[in-house]
Amino acid sequence: MRRLESVPHARLFYLPGGMIAAILLGMALTPVRELTNAGNFIFAFVILIIVVGELGGRAAAVATAACSALSLDFFLTKPYLSLKIEQKHDVIAFVGLTLCGLVAAALGSRHGRRAPGDASSGD
């Protein structure tokens, strides 16, 4: 497990930044929420999670995934501005976003990982 001191300070920006971006994305999509169901908005959130994961690492991606799922529920599923979900397809969208976000967080970040045959020899 990596200690906080070993994480570059520039990457620490993405932990709260990704969460705030997920909330802002949910708010930005509210004008068009009546045009389609919540499941169609998942793509925008998954793209956000992948970008944050690549730039900020796994911790930032996991935090963004959790915040994205809550933002989808709060802003884009009925009843609006509530964490309650009434329709079955919205529950499926919520679970799908959560799972996709966590998978993207686990697989998307290459920071701190090396290829199996990659050793620094110091040549």
Closest CA to 76 of 26, 6, 123: 26
Alpha helices in the chain (DSSP H): 9-12, 14-28, 42-56, 58-76, 88-108
pLDDT digits (tens, 9 = 90+) for 39-58: 889 899 999 999 998 888 88
Q: What angle do CA 77, 18, 66 make, to 5 degrees?
A: 45
pLDDT digits (tens, 9 = 90+) for 56-102: 888 888 899 999 999 998 999 888 899 888 888 888 888 888 888 88
Residue type at 120? S
- CA 75/CA 93 separation, integer angstroms: 13
